[in-house]
Amino acid sequence: MKSYIVIGLGRFGSEVARRLCQLGCEVLAVDTSSDLVQAISNDVTHAVVADGRDKGVLRALGAGDFDCGIIAIGDSLADSVLTTMNLKELGVPKVVCKAHDETHRQVLKKLGADQIVIPEQEQAYRLARSLSSQNVLDYIELSEDYGIIDLPAPSGWAGKNLRELNVRAKLGVNILAVKRENKINVSPAADYTICQGDIVVILGDTAALKAVQKL
């Protein structure tokens, strides 16, 4: 079981802490606000009122024994910088930080933060990518270069099986599943024939996915 210490229990931090716990992880939630700690106490493994800016306090909480530290303070550059330094000095293997702008991101990067997120920016980016993808029913971004989409099968695919289409060699994508009416065929066999109205779930890089959408 992976263990996480989440420091800062605003909307972002509390949501991350709850989701991690729902996924079966051990989560210690930390904030200076007793109200925020009380609100999340039943949803995580442990929740304590403590100051993440104090390295001695974090040491007493055993912060260095966690697999990952998540700093969700965000609004205060000075506070997130100090907390990042504390976790790195205590030997936390991976430190993930919330930043509120690009300058904040660059500062945290120089301090050695392993991953930095700007929630509003990333949500806006994903929404724009999804809205700009023609005919796409859903889009999941795996990285800046790769993603998964589900979209109506191009009309030229109807009546052909996956061996004939050979999309991996011709287009550089992989068909992960095919949705037909209320049924989903995961990892369809090579002789699986695409029908008009099928929804295909495809994995590939950004350029390849765009090419499929234009078919």
pLDDT in tens, 16-34: 999 999 989 999 999 999 9
pLDDT in tens, 47-76: 999 998 999 999 999 999 999 999 998 677
pLDDT in tens, 69-122: 999 986 778 899 999 999 999 999 999 999 888 888 889 988 889 999 888 777
CATH of the domain at 144: 3.30.70.1450
134 pLDDT higher than 60 = no
The confidence score (pLDDT) of residue 101 equals: 83
Structural domain boundaries, residue 87 = 3-122
The confidence score (pLDDT) of residue 105 equals: 86
Instruction: Kindly state whether residue 128 falls inside one of the protein's structural domains.
Output: no
The larger pLDDT score, comparing residue 163 to residue 136, is at 163
155 with 196, same domain: the answer is: yes
11 with 107, same domain: the answer is: yes
**Cβ-based burial of 200 (10 A; exposed 0-12, middle 13-18, buried ≥19):** buried
Looking only at the bridges linking them, the beta strands covering 115-117 and 94-98 are parallel
Looking only at the bridges linking them, the beta strands covering 46-49 and 26-31 are parallel
Give the whole-angstrom CA distance, residue 196 versus residue 92.
52
65 with 138, same domain: the answer is: no
